[in-house]
Structure 1
Amino acid sequence: MPFYAVKKGHAPGVYETWTECQEQIKGFYGPKFKKFSTEEEALAFAEIPASDKTLSSVAKSIQPIVKKLMSGVKEVSPLCQTLVSMLTDLDDSEESKEFSILAYNVENYLDKLTTSVKLAIDSKLLTGTTKGKASDSSEDASESPEKKKSVEEGGFTGKKLADDDKDVFIAGSCFNNGKPNASAGLGVYWGEREKNTSERLGGRQTNIQAEINAAIRAVEQAKAKNISNLTINTSSEFIMNSMTKWLKTWKKNNWTKSDGKELINKEDLQKLDKKLEGINVKWVHVDKHCAGCKAADNLANKGAKLPLPE
């Protein structure tokens, strides 16, 4: 019998039917999956040890709960409590590392629930929310409330990525943005068990400045880790447009905008452009409410409260 391995999807794991596999990849941006004739090959592709099928079993056990939540049943509170309980019980167990991946995917499902349901779950699952942030429209465009998976098809700076790409989430934060007492910070989130970054921004204190420097820090850290293929996830449309649409034109026009004026963030954008040499990066625009973005945003908020660097 065939085995379907899902490396990147709503619930990574190994499935026995194509229908189950489809459920995990449908609507997921950039899924990675493959059909195998043996379970061992499928487990290897999905990066699940053959001796420990925890992720697959946990994924299957959580799906009925998620589906009930998604169907909009009336008795939502007990189901939410069950989900929270499952996450809490696994927090200190040896399965927590595998389950953390699934938790992020559950977060994507929760985005589609009603506001009341999300609030009930946020108190347990999410690390923090952004308060006091305002958009900085100092360049060609401000952020739009519309949700987009990608500003431009592809979204690459460098060559297209192989299967060994590493994901990172970045965020910039600025309290009192645009005011004399503005305080900005940046966050770089690699994962629950990884060394993540929370820093106060030096220099001009704006949200966009913080976002650019978060991208710079992520690329610097990726190179230090010898990562050659990197996927940078951001909720900032400015970063997405800058890297996938405007960068080439800016460079061609000697780092000026369409009206001939010099870019306010010219130096930082030039620094980021220089850092991108020698590494392949895919830029992905993600919903600001996804777990990775919230984690990066929380780091950025904490960084904004730190003292200014000397």
Structure 2
Amino acid sequence: MSYGYFYNHGLPSIIRQIRRIKRFREPKFYAVAVGRRIGIYRSWPSCKVQIENISNAKFRRFDTHHEAISYLEQTPNELPLPLQDQMKQIDSINSNDNDLVDDSSIVYIDGACWRNGLPDACAGIGIYWPGAPERNQSLIIDGRQTSIRAEIWAAIFAIRQAKQIGLDKITIYTDSHFVIQTATVWLYKWKRNCWLTSSGVEVKNRYDMMALDESIRQMKKIIWRPVRGHSGIPGNEEADRLANAAIANYEQQQSKSINNNNNNNENLSKD
């Protein structure tokens, strides 16, 4: 066999084999957006446990942790169907306005982001108090405009607000399974690991997570209740409306400001 034949035929084959072996050995990241427990897993077996028999499971495999996090950020949060079935009793309580109106420690939160993932994204939060509507909040968030950050800051603002008005125990209803998992499971693990993930990567949105942790520690007790998004639950619908209203109002103001500047420039050019 000539050297030229080996170079043209044998070497490319060896290179392909090496690349396949390298891809096999490189760590993979499995992002579960809808499953028993959403998050990022380092092996297929651990991922499979979270999605098996979940008919509406959403998951993907990535080569990098950053890609996996981005996928979670841009995938709408919803409860897996088995957990939704377990929430039927909670849903029946939520739909009874008389049970909620007199309870000033119950709050619904929601985050919204228009054009999520794009450079001109805009994110807002809605905080709805069924028993004290004068406390309701409709705000635009600072910093990076993403749906995940909006959900996180909706929780932070609601907790801070509760503390300011003298509440030390509240019940938070949210349709973001991500926020509930973060507040009840991941925060404690990340703190113990110096705000690094199990793979040694810095937690994305670290300072947002630290702010959430600080807010939670100011309260004696927080009960987190999952609800189904866009399913007609009055409190959740109101929080969603407030979050979207914040964005709509902000963009309307921005549009007016741009139009005024354009008119002023036209007047100056005429002068």
Show the counterpart of 2:215: 275
- Say if 1:245 and 1:178 are closer, same or farther in 2 by CA, change over 3 A: same
Aligned in 2, Cα 1:193/1:247: closer, same or farther, shift over 3 Å? Answer: closer
Superposed, which structure 2 residues align to 1:179-258 within 5 Å?
179-191=118-130, 194-195=133-134, 196-258=136-198
After TM superposition, give the deviation of residue 138 of structure 1 in Å: 4.5
Cα distance in 1 for residues equivalent to 2:234 and 2:124? 19
**Structure number with higher helix proportion:** 2
**Post-superposition CA distance 1:150-199 (Å, at most 9, x none):** 89xxxxxxxxxxxx881100000001100111110000000275120000
- Superposed CA deviations along residues 211-256 of structure 1, whole A, max 9, x for unmatched, are 1110011001101121111001100010011011211111111112
1:293 alignment partner in structure 2: 236
* Alpha-carbon contact 1:186-1:299 (below 8 Å) kept: yes
> Paired residue for 1:146?
80
In 2, the alpha carbon distance for the partners of 1:230 and 1:136 equals: 31
Moved over 6 A (4+): none
Per the alignment, residue 246 of structure 2 pairs with 303
2:13 paired residue number? none
Structure-2 change in CA distance of 1:268 and 1:281 (3 Å):
same
Alignment of 1:1-310 (within 5 A): 137-138=71-72, 143-147=77-81, 148=83, 166-191=105-130, 194-195=133-134, 196-279=136-219, 280-288=221-229, 289=231, 290-307=233-250
- After superposition, the Cα gap between the structure-2 partners of 1:306 and 1:165, relative to the gap in structure 1 and judged at 3 Å, is closer
TM-score (norm 2): 0.54
Contact 1:171 1:293 survives alignment (8 Å): yes
After superposition, give the CA deviation of every residue in 1:124-150 in whole Å (9 maximum; x if it has no partner). Answer: xxxxxxxxxxx96446x9734525368
- Answer yes or no: is the 8 Å Cα contact 1:168–1:231 preserved in 2: yes
- Post-superposition Cα deviations, 1:32-64, rounded to whole Å, max 9, x if no partner, equal xxxxxxxxxxxxxxxxxxxxxxxxxxxxxxxxx
SS class of match (2:143)? coil
Alpha-carbon distance between aligned partners in 1 of 2:234 and 2:116, rounded to the nearest angstrom: 24
- Alpha-carbon distance, 1:259 to partner: 2.1
> Structure 1: which 5+ residue stretches go unaligned?
1-134, 152-163
Identity of aligned residues (%): 36
Please tell me whether the aligned partners of residues 136 and 208 of structure 1 are also in contact (alpha carbons under 8 angstroms): no
Shift of 1:258: 2.3
**Aligned mates of 2:148, 2:169 — CA distance in 1:** 25
Consecutive unaligned residues of structure 2, counting only runs of 5 or more, are: 1-68, 88-102, 254-271
Structure 1, residues 245-283: CA drift from partner, whole Å, max 9, x if none?
211111111112222211221111101111112311011
Instruction: Work out the CA distance in 2 between the residues paired with 1:179 and 1:256.
Output: 27
CA distance in 1, matches of 2:132, 2:225: 22
